[in-house]
Amino acid sequence: MRPTLLALPVLLPLLGAGLSLLGPRRAVIRGLSGAVLAVVLADAVALLVLADRDGPQAVHMGGWPAPLGITLVADRLSALLLTVSALVSLAVLGFAVGQGTAERRERSARVFHPAYLVLVAGVSLAYLSGDLFNLFVAFEAMLAASYVLITLDAGRNRTRAGMTYTIVSLTSSLLFITLIALVYAATGTVTLAQLGPRLAELDGGLRGALALLTLTVLGIKAALVPLHFWLPDSYPTAPAPITAVFAALLTKVGVYALLRTETLLFPRTGVWPLLAWVAVATMLVGILGALAQDDVNRLLSFTLVSHIGFMLFGLALFDVRGLTGTILYVVHHIVAQAALFLVADLMVRRTDTAALSVMARRPTPGALVAVLFALPAMSLAGVPPFSGFVAKLALLQAGAGRGGAVAYLLLGAAVLTSALTLYAMARVWTAGFMKPPRPARGASVRTRGARLMLTSAAGVTVAGLVVTAGAGPLARLGERAAQDLLRPQAYRSVVLGEGER
């Protein structure tokens, strides 16, 4: 039963993608996609319960033990992120169906749904991969699917943005496969459970070079400054549900890969100054870029870049409290960022513009949309008692507890970025909602599709409230996951067997 649970999040979406190509009707294809994602969500919850109760779970595909075969591994961190990602993927699918992204042309559903399911399979494989090569395969699956999605029904601007996204991603892929070749040449393995001890035996200069290349490769995927330039030009041009799922998941998969590789392959005992400076630059450059934007989607895209810096904050500290804060922040940000992009699309549709300066002169999108925007916006800004405040408080406490000039620099940048994020969210609020109510021009909530869009956006927003309500248990789970990262003996044992390390 447990091997099936580990394989399903990858195999089931791939099977669903193949079957959706054969679906005779759009309703059948939509129902199949929704059912597949619902099963993946249930499976992820079961894996999370097992990993938290019994420790890491592993399956050797085809019966080939590591390092000979493909190994899928679920520990507390990967199972937690898989659960949250599956939940958001399901909600965004509902929004996409309501918006009609998949049905704008007669054959679009046959393109959208298979690509979307392949994207989910790639995300799942990234979380569960037990070796560097299959992590690379997961990123390539996400790249292939995301290029299809970002250029769906594309005009000139979207195609150009899609090409920018693809060229940058392919460059990262070339660097990634180069990294894998160098690591294998130096250690004789790409299995994550084996690499830590073998990399520790290498010359310090070579090990440092491999660590820097790993940071660069995954930094492009996670959109760290100065490797972030592709994101604000690519995400805003895609259909809103695609932008939402990209913002919620793809950069977080990059952050997850950084958490996994840096703690398992290149463990440290103190603050990592280089990553701390990258975190500070990411926070400040991203939020200053957001403040310069008039387009609401570009503003949110720069804010996305900025808040990746908070996730690097905890990783740079390299202790249990810092990593706990990072894990909490990743969970919070997946939900909050998806909700904001979905609600932003409701605002744009009802005001017929994405420009804040023009939106301020248009009818208000409505009270319900205002509430749906305010909740994740306040969470993103770190307003108590929302989940963003809980995650930021954990990071600030970790930084204060660590002490030292670098930690205090991170603290100052985090506080300043939070204040500027609140200002950026207030700009959107003022343009969208601080005006007398008048009948809106855009899509009416009376239509079936618009009701589904509103329900899906509300569902993601409510999920953020659930994260807030469960902050205590989630923080304890995050702390146990952080301890697993810093003490990976159980991870190595379940992959390699009790007698190997």
For CA atoms 238, 244, 250, 254, the dihedral sign is: positive
What's the mean pLDDT when you consider all of the chain? 89
Least confident of 165-169, 214-218, 299-303: 165-169
Calculate what percentage of the chain has a pLDDT beyond 70.
93
pLDDT band at 78 (very low <50, low <70, confident <90, very high): very high
Dmax (CA) for the chain in angstroms is 71
Least confident of 132-141, 247-256, 386-395, 426-435: 426-435
- What range does the domain containing 123 cover? 1-267
User: What number is the average pLDDT over the span 271-295?
Assistant: 94
Which residue, 223, 246, 267, sits at the end of a domain? 267
**Structure confidence at residue 104 (pLDDT):** 54
User: Are residues 59 and 134 both part of a single domain?
Assistant: yes
User: What number is the average pLDDT over the span 337-366?
Assistant: 90
User: Are residues 252 and 291 both part of a single domain?
Assistant: no
Give the chain's domain count. 2
User: Are residues 43 and 111 both part of a single domain?
Assistant: yes
- Within-domain flag for 486: no
| H/E segment holding residue 97 | helix 76-99
Per-residue tokens: 104: 């704008």
User: Are residues 384 and 295 both part of a single domain?
Assistant: yes
User: Are residues 360 and 244 both part of a single domain?
Assistant: no
**Structure confidence at residue 165 (pLDDT):** 83
86-119: pLDDT as tens digits: 999 999 999 988 877 555 554 566 788 899 999 9
37-77: pLDDT as tens digits: 999 999 999 999 999 999 999 998 877 777 778 899 999 99
User: Are residues 246 and 337 both part of a single domain?
Assistant: no
Q: Which of 87, 75, 84, 72 is nearest to 34 (CA)?
A: 87
The vertex-450 CA angle with 444 and 455, nearest 5°, equals 125
User: Are residues 386 and 444 both part of a single domain?
Assistant: yes
351-365: pLDDT as tens digits: 888 899 998 888 888
Least confident of 102-111, 140-149, 217-226, 430-439: 102-111
Calculate what percentage of the chain has a pLDDT beyond 90.
66
- Within-domain flag for 499: no
pLDDT band at 499 (very low <50, low <70, confident <90, very high): very low
User: What number is the average pLDDT over the span 117-126?
Assistant: 96
User: What number is the average pLDDT over the span 165-189?
Assistant: 92
Relative to beta strand 71-74, strand 57-60 is antiparallel
Give the list of residues 6+ apart from residue 29 with CB closer than 8 angstroms, or none.
20, 23, 102, 109, 110, 113
User: Are residues 180 and 215 both part of a single domain?
Assistant: yes
